[in-house]
Structure 1
Amino acid sequence: MSNNSGTGTRIRQWLMTGVSYMIPFVAAGGILIALSFMIGGYDIVYQDQAEFLAKGFNPLAAHDWAYVMFAVGAATFGFLVPVLSGFIAYAIADRPGLAPGFVGGAIAGTVGAGFLGGLITGFLGGFVALWLSRIKLPNWLRPLMPVVVIPLVATFITAGLMLVILGGPLKALMTALNDWLTGLSGGSLIGLGIILGLMMAFDMGGPVNKVAYTFAAAGLTEAGASADANDPRFVIMAIVMAAGMTPPLGLALATVLRKNKFSNAERQNGKAAWLLGASFITEGAIPFAAADPLRVIPSIMIGSGVSGALVAAFGCTLRAPHGGLWVFGLVGNWPMYLIAVAIGTVVTALLVIVAKNIKPGVSDEALEEAVA
């Protein structure tokens, strides 16, 4: 990373590093847990591990397969906060930041500080390690710094502060946030659905999109496997996935409905966008937005906001943090969920087509100059 980058840019890049390394754990753990519920029912969470190990695994029993999926998924979820924290610290201080980041994140999870605690220990561990690495020392001591001294001191400081000072207040804050999310219903949940929908479409996989996604994934983790099936945090996860699917699907539909409004390259991108959108890969909309941001970005934001609001209004839920169309069998009230995604897709397509017809005398070059 360039030292000439602005402070805001550097913080965003550090945060995105942690989130990008965390997402595979979110996807793997969340989908495994969701599949275990689909195969073995929600009661699988109450299966006693000691009893299961004593009985032995029966490859012909669906319940046993379900429990293995649940146990592996739950173990994978246990890495989320340490991975987030560890790689934020790594982005700041390189390898010396890994130990304080990972251990600080693990302590944050232990004391109940959750994802907020992981964010704080990531930045704290990274900056402590970076500060220690810049201390001028005798030549004979320098080789020991990155492998012994910095990890030892930075880990003790970071994890110690989380355990003794920061953990209690952060746990109280996380509890208040969870209580607020659990109490959401009706208009407040619909309003949140609109906001999250707008965020998911705004930069199509960028920092704002990832903030919304991480907020939903964190709620999914905090809700826990034993939470009520209608917990609002599962609705929030459903909102975010629907809103993330809508932009590429809507743009793909627009290329079919009005081919003459799109270049040959965009029409080819539209074919790929069907699969990308169906798989919850919002980045499929980026080529269209890059070519015509003034028309495309507002259109996809409105379409995603509509999808998010409808999912909230219909009370659809989702326990899997990723997968798109391929995990629709795990969606609560999935027929209405399909309708919400379909309506958002159509709204997006129509708005893009209408926008393409606005001020036809303005050239694409002029639009690009206006954006620049």
Structure 2
Amino acid sequence: MSELITADLVDLDLAAETKEAAARSLAERMVTRGRVTDLDGFLADVAAREAQMPTGLDGGIGIPHCRSAHVTEATLAFGRSARGIDFGAPDGPADLIFLIAAPAGADDAHLTILSALARRLMNEDFTTALRTATDPTATASLISGDSEPVGTEPGTPEPEAVTAEPTGGTGTGVGAGAGAEAGAATQAEAEAGPETGPDVPVSASEPDAPAADRVFRIVAVTSCPTGIAHTYMAAEALEKAGRHAGVEVVVEPQGSAGFTRLDPAVIAAADGVIFAHDVPVREKDRFAGKPTVDVGVKAGINRPAELIAEVRGKVQRGEITAPAAGRGEGSPGTPVDNAGDPGEGYGTKLRKWLMSGVSYMVPFVAAGGLLIALGFAIGGYTINKAPSVAEHFVWTDHTSWAALLFQIGGLAFSFLVPVLAGYIAYGMADRPGLVPGFVGGSIALTINAGFLGGLAAGLIAGGTVMAIQRVGVPAPLRGIMPVVVIPLVSSAVVGFLMFLVVGKPIASLQKALTDWLSGLSGANAIILGVVLGLMMCFDLGGPLNKVAYAFAVGGLANPNEGSLKVMAAVMAAGMVPPLAMALATTVRGKLFTRAERENGKAAWVLGASFITEGAIPFAAADPLRVIPSAMVGGAVTGGLSMLFECTLRAPHGGIFVIPLIGDPFLYLLAIAVGTAVSTCLVVLLKGARKTGHPDQGEGAPGPDDAADAAAPGATGAAGAGPDPKVPAAV
């Protein structure tokens, strides 16, 4: 344990004023000890983790952390700030800062350090001792667990020491469920006798004991988006509150590396359940039929005693969560439910349902579209009139091979609408939605309702299945519901509605949209190209990007001149952000970190391949400069592509399908102009940030950057010493 944190990794007078400067100061101590091999590379990894979610915790605590290829062994550094440093915690700046570094791939050590430290931070004596410590050696010993804070209550199990060795969870004691993530129960808790209540494993026979003769029992699940700090802090708070209230609390922390399930006997013996979570509870159906309190993870940290009292009140009133027929309150939930946040509104869920279908459709688009493109490239545009290769195929004739590729791609492309509809329904109702969704999507193709018909069919199928699942059925019939009853009834309902009610109006709307696209010209076409370009570059592969892309791909189902122009504009605009970031890191590398310059090399290939997500690392580090720059360039490219009347028959491929583009030279010109515009904007915006500080020259960090003016390496001379910056956190 002494190797994890030592006296020279402790700074009791941390002078940094920003979280980036604090990370640099503590990381330099790690470099001195040989724990970190590349300071800038490691700090870039720390900033990337910070960009995902702030690492500040309530109570004046900051825990920046990451896994990095530049770390040789798991290390913990501690700094104490007199002024406080903002790490994004709701209650204000942090004065206790812990920098945790773990080697790349060392998940167990990384999670062990974080979760164990999070538990100890719930002990007020521990944090008080850190705030009053005067000796670095004693502080390192306190953090490592080699010494205990003064004032710990006698008989109260001390949270486990921070250790880099993962421990196993049994799933039956207080805090069980951490498993390989950290070993949630301490040795003191595991050895506690019957008088401690919450530390005793529950036997299967105990539930039959009279209520007056046994302690009140609660099982709990805690989880947070990162599955580390808040998850274990909530677990510790609930256990501690349970001890004070004389209640047995058994917690299953569902951390980022998985979880160890509570023993079914423990769940069966429990009187009530607490869910303290910011992500959906996994395998929630295990807890059905018991009084339940469902709150966010911070409620588990801040008011655990109230939650315990609320559970006891529900038990006294007899309020329970009843098991539902099919999918219901006590069940695991749908794929969208399991990927979303508690309490999401209908609009958010609708967007996720639609994106569920689009995300499953995209691989069919890529495979089918590129095969069709290759068929055209090899055999020419008349290859679509070739006979079936099953009846006529000449091994030595290149047109036969072109026809083979085209026909395989055409079959893959024919799945677009059924897959879209099927997986929209899947996102709404899980696997029972697949059958009516695919049936509805196929009907949409049959009646020429196209892409819009697929959207409607998926929503109708999912809604129908959800309605059927809410109908109570006798227990003996529940087994055949998902296999026979739900597919039969839902397919019949969806088929009726698509054929006779909504299908024809949607088909008419689809035809009108197709005719409109076919007639696009002049200013209207340019405006559409600008709008699509903005959408493609706003969230770089996110929902708005997917909507624009799906709109373009939907037009390829029945291609005409207008839909081919739309496809060309969408792909051209989507190539701009990564190409612009790659060019910017090439022409003005000093404005970017070393990690960003490395990402810039990969962005050349990603942009050329029409993978807009290649710009995400840059946007995550500096969204206020990168995203607007990308949007302006994408809008210019989309508008120019429409102005030049470029067309595209392939839904993907980037520069590799240039032979299939109408007016390819003008198309490349549109991409080049948009890329240049985005590059100039991002360089100007980043350069203005740098030159806004008279003490610093080009390449030195500005106020948003990782290091402040006092950081080593920020000499004020352009190019003097290594670039000290790391990406600014979102």
Smaller-chain TM-score bracket: over 0.9
Contact between 1:82 and 1:104, CA under 8 Å: does it hold in 2? yes
Post-superposition CA distance 1:332-365 (Å, at most 9, x none): 2111111111111111111001111335357217
1:158-307 paired onto structure 2 within 5 Å? 158-223=494-559, 227=560, 231-307=561-637
Contact between 1:279 and 1:325, CA under 8 Å: does it hold in 2? yes
Distance across 1 between alignment mates of 2:705 and 2:475: 58
Q: Return the letter of the residue paired with 1:364.
A: D
Unaligned runs of 5+ in 2: 1-336, 694-701, 707-727
Post-superposition CA distance 1:312-334 (Å, at most 9, x none): 11221110100112211221211
Q: Return the letter of the residue paired with 1:332.
A: G
Q: Quote the residue 2:408 is aligned against.
A: 72
Q: Quote the residue 2:355 is aligned against.
A: 16
Post-superposition CA distance 1:261-298 (Å, at most 9, x none): 11112111111111111110000111111111111111
Q: How much has 1:95 moved relative to structure 2?
A: 0.6
Distance across 1 between alignment mates of 2:729 and 2:532: 24
Distance across 1 between alignment mates of 2:646 and 2:670: 10
User: Secondary structure at the residue paired with 2:558?
Assistant: helix
Contact between 1:266 and 1:288, CA under 8 Å: does it hold in 2? yes
More strand by share: 2
Establish whether residue 6 from structure 1 lines up as the match of residue 6 from structure 2: no
Distance across 2 between alignment mates of 1:53 and 1:29: 18
Closer, same or farther: CA 154–371 of 1 in aligned 2, 3 Å: farther
Distance across 1 between alignment mates of 2:364 and 2:583: 32
1:24-63 paired onto structure 2 within 5 Å? 24-49=363-388, 53-54=390-391, 56-63=392-399
Closer, same or farther: CA 177–371 of 1 in aligned 2, 3 Å: farther
Distance across 1 between alignment mates of 2:342 and 2:477: 27
Q: How much has 1:46 moved relative to structure 2?
A: 2.2
Q: How much has 1:245 moved relative to structure 2?
A: 0.4
Q: Return the letter of the residue paired with 1:44.
A: I
Q: Quote the residue 1:149 is aligned against.
A: 485
Contact between 1:105 and 1:117, CA under 8 Å: does it hold in 2? yes
Contact between 1:248 and 1:273, CA under 8 Å: does it hold in 2? yes
Q: Greater shift after overlay, 76-85 or 259-268?
A: 259-268
Distance across 2 between alignment mates of 1:365 and 1:152: 60
Among candidates 659, 669, 673, match of residue 329 of structure 1 = 659
User: Secondary structure at the residue paired with 2:396?
Assistant: coil
Distance across 2 between alignment mates of 1:21 and 1:308: 26
Q: Quote the residue 1:347 is aligned against.
A: 677
TM-score, normalisation: structure 1: 0.93
Q: Return the letter of the residue paired with 1:26.
A: V
Contact between 2:529 and 2:635, CA under 8 Å: does it hold in 1? yes
User: Secondary structure at the residue paired with 2:556?
Assistant: helix
Q: Return the letter of the residue paired with 1:307.
A: T
Q: Quote the residue 1:106 is aligned against.
A: 442
Distance across 1 between alignment mates of 2:544 and 2:394: 45
Distance across 2 between alignment mates of 1:11 and 1:43: 41
Post-superposition CA distance 1:129-174 (Å, at most 9, x none): 1121122111100001111101111111112100111111011101
Distance across 2 between alignment mates of 1:176 and 1:318: 21
Distance across 1 between alignment mates of 2:580 and 2:435: 44
Q: Quote the residue 1:117 is aligned against.
A: 453
Q: Greater shift after overlay, 35-44 or 239-248?
A: 35-44
Contact between 1:294 and 1:371, CA under 8 Å: does it hold in 2? no
More helix by share: 1
Contact between 2:364 and 2:412, CA under 8 Å: does it hold in 1? yes
Distance across 2 between alignment mates of 1:258 and 1:8: 42
Closer, same or farther: CA 124–365 of 1 in aligned 2, 3 Å: farther
Contact between 2:622 and 2:729, CA under 8 Å: does it hold in 1? no
4+ residue stretches of structure 1 with deviation over 6 A?
none
Among candidates 704, 715, 722, match of residue 364 of structure 1 = 704
Q: Greater shift after overlay, 8-17 or 152-161?
A: 8-17
Contact between 2:369 and 2:409, CA under 8 Å: does it hold in 1? yes
Distance across 2 between alignment mates of 1:194 and 1:132: 44
Q: Greater shift after overlay, 353-362 or 32-41?
A: 353-362
Q: How much has 1:97 moved relative to structure 2?
A: 0.3
Post-superposition CA distance 1:201-234 (Å, at most 9, x none): 00000010001001111111221xxx5xxx1211
Q: Return the letter of the residue paired with 2:397.
A: A
Distance across 2 between alignment mates of 1:39 and 1:371: 48
Contact between 2:465 and 2:486, CA under 8 Å: does it hold in 1? yes
Q: Quote the residue 2:475 is aligned against.
A: 139
Q: Return the letter of the residue paired with 2:345.
A: G
Q: Return the letter of the residue paired with 1:6.
A: G
Post-superposition CA distance 1:238-261 (Å, at most 9, x none): 111110000000011111111111
Q: Which has the higher contact order (CA 8 A, sep 6+)?
A: 1
Aligned length in residues:
360
Larger Rg: 2
Post-superposition CA distance 1:178-213 (Å, at most 9, x none): 010000012211111111111000000001000100
Unaligned runs of 5+ in 1: none
Distance across 2 between alignment mates of 1:365 and 1:14: 38
Distance across 1 between alignment mates of 2:500 and 2:402: 39
Distance across 1 between alignment mates of 2:381 and 2:660: 12
Q: How much has 1:33 moved relative to structure 2?
A: 1.5
Contact between 1:99 and 1:155, CA under 8 Å: does it hold in 2? yes
Contact between 2:585 and 2:597, CA under 8 Å: does it hold in 1? yes
Q: Greater shift after overlay, 270-279 or 198-207?
A: 270-279
User: Secondary structure at the residue paired with 1:4?
Assistant: coil
User: Secondary structure at the residue paired with 1:59?
Assistant: coil
